[in-house]
Amino acid sequence: MNEKCVDSVVGDILAGWRYDISGLAPEMRGDYEAHFAACVRCRARQRLHRSIDISLIVLATISAGLFLLAFIVIRRYSPQHALLLEIVALGGFAFSALVWVIVAIVTPVPMVVLDAARTRARQLSDRLPPEIRDRLPDELKLK
């Protein structure tokens, strides 16, 4: 990635925020969204950061699921030293769940996923025929 940032001041601000503008008010996002549109380097780094964040959530989820499955299998078959194995499985599940919570709190993954869901819902809503769109309750209509 040999590309230079088009505005190093804005790029440094975004780097300090891990390229996350999801928590900003819409009126404050304009300049940063324009920067992402113009700057290939910052856009690529933002994509990299979100990929890492989502990968961590997915890995922690899979890990917790596997530890829970191990606990269930141990309970079902009751091998020798079952208590020790159950403790290890529950400890692994607890650790994976803790990692999941920490990643969800520290990273903007929930906001990014919610924003992506809203964007997709808005796209689908725009494709609906007007007669169906008009029949939707007001609380379901997107702003």
Q: What is the pTM of this model?
A: 0.72
Per the listing, tokens 């030293």 go with 81
Residue 139 has pLDDT above 70, yes or no: no
Which of 138, 69, 63 lies closest to 96, judged by CA? 63
80-124 per-position pLDDT tens digit: 888 999 999 999 999 999 999 999 888 888 877 777 787 787 788
Greater pLDDT, 19 or 83: 83
78's tokens: 């009751």
Cα distances from 3 to residues 8, 41, 82, 95, 103, in angstroms, run 12, 6, 56, 39, 30
Residue whose structure tokens are 């020790």: 84
Residue 78, by phi and psi: left (phi above 0), alpha (psi -120 to 50) or beta? left
pLDDT tens digits, 29-75: 888 888 888 999 998 998 898 889 889 999 999 999 999 999 999 99
Report pLDDT for 69: 97
pLDDT at 87: 95
Return the pLDDT at 4. 86
Largest Cα–Cα separation, the chain? 66
Q: Is the pLDDT of residue 18 over 80?
A: no
Instruction: Determine the pLDDT at residue 55.
Output: 93
Q: How far apart are CA 133 and CA 129, in angstroms?
A: 6
Burial class (CB in 10 A: 0-12, 13-18, 19+), 62: exposed
Rounded CA-CA distance 55/34 in Å is 27
Residue 140's pLDDT band (boundaries 50, 70, 90)?
low
Q: Evaluate if residue 23 carries a pLDDT over 80.
A: no
pLDDT of residue 19: 79
Between 128 and 101, name the one with better pLDDT. 101
